[in-house]
Structure 1
Amino acid sequence: MSRNKNVIIVGGGIIGLSSAYFLQKEGHNVTVLDKSNMDGGASHVNAGYITPSHIIPLASPGMISKGIKYMFNSASPFYMKPRLDMDFMKWAWYFKKSSTTSKVKQAMPIIKDINLLSRELFEGIKASGDLGDFHLERKGLLMVYQTQKEGDHEMEVARIAGDMGLEVNTLDSEGLGKVEPNIKLNALGAVHYECDGHTTPTQFMERMIDYLPKCGVKINKNEEVLDVVVSGDKITEVKTNKDNYKADEVVFAAGSWTSQLSKKLNLNMPLQAGKGYRINVESPTNISMPAILMEAKMAVTPMQGYTRFAGTMEFSGINHDIRRERVEAIARGAERYYEGLKISEEDKSNAQCGLRPVTPDGLPYIGASKQFGNLTLATGHAMMGWSLGPATGKLVTELISDKKLSMNINPFAPERKF
């Protein structure tokens, strides 16, 4: 049995809070530091999906050529802003190297396994009653297509997912009408991944931020890490704009900002911020099923109190600038699929964005640092950060508590070669 440790977690998103949740259950003393007010960002504006079906990593064949094609259209779903930035150019080169059929094939079972582990942990958190009765449903996810080309592509993914043991169904337009009965979809059909679930992220985050301090976890908002003091192969102190902290263990779970933190320690962890947007529509939409609208490359989620329309992957560095053309593209995309849906100017003007941390190969960084004996890294989950939050928190806790790991994490090695 490992001794109880003082753990500093840098980052208060879903990954940091899930780590705090499981670490305090093991008896560790936990302090979470976050530079923001912890009421925005990727953990709050995502589509809320729990997605074992997302077995194909972002780095897949054809993505770079799509990125180049889209590069000069800032309203496109996958936008890389041209910029002379050494880190970005290196990352793009690694991304291209990772986008091979054989690497995707290797990644698929790993992505499936960590998603299934996380789905089970979400259900365990709900069953524990710790966070009260938060919104968690498993209705599945519809991959809705308007063209046969996208349909054929998704049928192939569905076949692989089915062979891997995931529950999946195909629907023609009539079948789609039965599954989503209260609003007409302009679509040829859909693939229904029954294995998937969804939540309302803001609700879960608020409950977690409320629950953890009651269990002794210190949550320090608006506190930015300025420096990390090292002695030999150990981090001895974390310095912020407000205080200095000594720690037995340190967890970097700061999402896209982890690249800046890791530079302070000369760690080579290529990471880029992929900006996503969301529009919340509070008036009734009659949408009852989570869906990805394939040609529009966007997500739709019925949440508690509103329907969320989310999407885009924009690589333009670390900033929270909202490009109106991208918001308009999401609204137009949704209106093309759902008959009679109209997203108001007010809803569009209240759009928010968040930065997802993206690794070059589409697999997260989860593991102990090779260089520093008391540093654990947990970031780089791209579009699966929400889905993989609890699993990552559990794995971080097992590493720090010297316990048997729930799964093999070698593919997530933070200092892996690309």
Structure 2
Amino acid sequence: MSKKVIIIGGGIIGLSSAYFLQKEGHNVTIIEKSDITSGASFVNAGYITPSHIIPLASPGMIAKGIKMMFNSASPFYMKPRWDTEFFKWSWYFHKSSTKEKVDRAIPVIKDINILSRELFEDIKTSGDLGDFQLERKGLLMLYKTKEAYLHEKEVADKASFLGLEVQELDQKQLERLEPGVAIDAKGAIHYECDAHSTPSQFMPKMVTYLKDIGVAIKTNEEVLDVKVKDRRIHEIKTSKETYTADEIILAAGSWSGKISKKMGLDTPLQGGKGYSINVERPTGITIPAILMESKMAVTPMEGFTRFAGTMEFSGLNDLVRNERVMAIANGAKKYYPSVDINTKEIANVKTGLRPVSPDGLPYIGRSSKLENLTLATGHAMMGWSLGPATGKLVAEIIDDKKTSMNIDAFSPDRRF
């Protein structure tokens, strides 16, 4: 049965949800506060990463955050501030950062990433969006120190045990695999299971396709109020209009927590800011890499190479901290000595806010408090990777179908 569905949020999660819902015959409207040309869905590293099996909330992360709190150039930065919501989230994050919880999360993260990789491939094969970059060259974890190697080797062993394709490379093997650029690293762990894409290419194509098949996309429109009665959302009031629908999908990224409060819910969520620099010159880099000690990502995209990184918790803002930008530029130089990021490229840095739940797992599922609300947010650094899978799961939830995988771990009602 066709339903009238409103999706709050026009990032990769919202667009992917619209894509699969429309294919099931639903009448879909997307409400987005921006013009869908910027933000985390455009400036991320473009990774599709079954290898990212360890959630952000893992043992030792809070200690690292406190240690780095007074260094605003550090890869993981928590700005000291008086914010009760942040304090509460931090406490939940601490409680979630246990070995037992991480071990339970690992197979679930792997499964949803593999599902999403397959769905990216299905979208490519369908021709719905025309041609777009989707390459499966894997992901190199480049390391300079034995400590970094041993840390990643532990993750690689777990990934291999779960059936993911992983190889260890020494310097000579690395040189043969990536001959076009000098790499200053002792070696790499190559996750052959991973793929990559160009978000700024994919997103406009998806927007165009959705409009062509009848999805209404309302841009520059902010949700101001939500009318709730008898455990249902009856109206959504925006800066331009008032809407009614059978089903509501909350996919507003880092702003989902604030909007959920308008619905009478408490959804612990913080925006984790990332930065990215594009180099629109040949770099010789052909395989995506994570520079382990610098904790940053490098991706050869369509027409440019992207250098991205950092996780900054400083509130919902787009302020640029120059010291963090320079940390990315300097970090790239340490691994790719022949690659110089110039001042113009540094000045064109972009930021995006990734929605981070306390345990690093997304919220995907119906709210127990509101019968016609489904949440699809909180994906942290895996938002791009998990876009299609989340969209598919949302459509299955709305249609009351058996979901493609068990989503109990993503329950919006889970306790921390």
Could you tell me which of 176, 183, 186 is aligned with 1:185?
183
Equivalent residue runs for 1:2-151 within 5 Å = 3-151=1-149
Could you tell me which of 235, 238, 242 is aligned with 2:236?
238
Q: What SS class does the counterpart of residue 322 from structure 1 fall into?
A: coil
Please report the TM-score for the alignment, with normalisation by the length of structure 2: 0.99
> In the alignment, which residue of structure 1 is the partner of 2:380?
382
Q: What SS class does the counterpart of residue 362 from structure 1 fall into?
A: coil
Equivalent residue runs for 1:150-161 within 5 Å = 150-161=148-159
> In the alignment, which residue of structure 1 is the partner of 2:251?
253
> In the alignment, which residue of structure 2 is the partner of 1:266?
264
- Residue deviations 1:140-199, cap 9 Å, x none? 000000111001111111111000000000001111111111111100000000000000
> In the alignment, which residue of structure 2 is the partner of 1:220?
218
- Residue deviations 1:385-415, cap 9 Å, x none? 0000000000000000111110111100012
> In the alignment, which residue of structure 2 is the partner of 1:350?
348
Could you tell me which of 330, 334, 337 is aligned with 2:335?
337
Distance 2:174 2:153 in 1: 15
> In the alignment, which residue of structure 2 is the partner of 1:206?
204
Contact 2:227 2:263 (8 Å CA) reproduced: no
Distance 1:266 1:232 in 2: 12
Distance 2:177 2:4 in 1: 49
Read off the aligned partner of 2:365 and give its amino acid letter. Answer: G
> In the alignment, which residue of structure 1 is the partner of 2:173?
175
Distance 1:110 1:23 in 2: 23
Read off the aligned partner of 1:290 and give its amino acid letter. Answer: P
Aligned Cα root-mean-square deviation (Å) = 0.5
Distance 2:176 2:361 in 1: 36
Contact 2:298 2:308 (8 Å CA) reproduced: yes
Distance 1:150 1:216 in 2: 49
Q: What SS class does the counterpart of residue 226 from structure 1 fall into?
A: strand
Contact 1:252 1:377 (8 Å CA) reproduced: yes
> In the alignment, which residue of structure 2 is the partner of 1:315?
313
Contact 1:280 1:347 (8 Å CA) reproduced: yes
171-180 or 189-198: which moved more? 171-180
Read off the aligned partner of 2:207 and give its amino acid letter. Answer: I
Contact 1:184 1:338 (8 Å CA) reproduced: yes
Read off the aligned partner of 1:253 and give its amino acid letter. Answer: A
User: Which segments of 5 or more consecutive residues in structure 2 lack a partner in the other structure?
Assistant: none
> In the alignment, which residue of structure 2 is the partner of 1:279?
277
Q: What SS class does the counterpart of residue 10 from structure 2 fall into?
A: coil
> In the alignment, which residue of structure 2 is the partner of 1:362?
360
> In the alignment, which residue of structure 1 is the partner of 2:296?
298
Read off the aligned partner of 2:294 and give its amino acid letter. Answer: A
Contact 2:277 2:346 (8 Å CA) reproduced: yes
Q: Which runs of 4+ in 1 moved over 4 A?
A: none
Distance 2:228 2:67 in 1: 44
Read off the aligned partner of 1:398 and give its amino acid letter. Answer: E
Read off the aligned partner of 1:100 and give its amino acid letter. Answer: T
Contact 1:256 1:356 (8 Å CA) reproduced: yes
Could you tell me which of 393, 396, 409 is aligned with 2:394?
396
Distance 1:372 1:162 in 2: 41
Alpha-carbon distance, 1:266 to partner: 2.2
- Residue deviations 1:272-298, cap 9 Å, x none? 000000000001111111000000000
Aligned length, in residue pairs: 416
Q: What SS class does the counterpart of residue 119 from structure 2 fall into?
A: helix
- Residue deviations 1:30-64, cap 9 Å, x none? 00000001100000000000000000000001101
Read off the aligned partner of 2:110 and give its amino acid letter. Answer: K
Alpha-carbon distance, 1:208 to partner: 0.3
Q: What SS class does the counterpart of residue 120 from structure 1 fall into?
A: helix
Distance 1:256 1:387 in 2: 17
Please report the TM-score for the alignment, with normalisation by the length of structure 1: 0.99
Distance 2:132 2:339 in 1: 28
Contact 1:367 1:378 (8 Å CA) reproduced: yes
Alpha-carbon distance, 1:229 to partner: 1.0
Contact 1:268 1:415 (8 Å CA) reproduced: no
Distance 1:100 1:224 in 2: 37
Distance 1:94 1:404 in 2: 30
- Residue deviations 1:69-108, cap 9 Å, x none? 1000000000000111000000001101110111110000
Q: Percent identity over the alignment?
A: 67
176-185 or 294-303: which moved more? 176-185
Could you tell me which of 408, 412, 416 is aligned with 1:410?
408
Distance 2:273 2:2 in 1: 37
Distance 1:220 1:134 in 2: 25
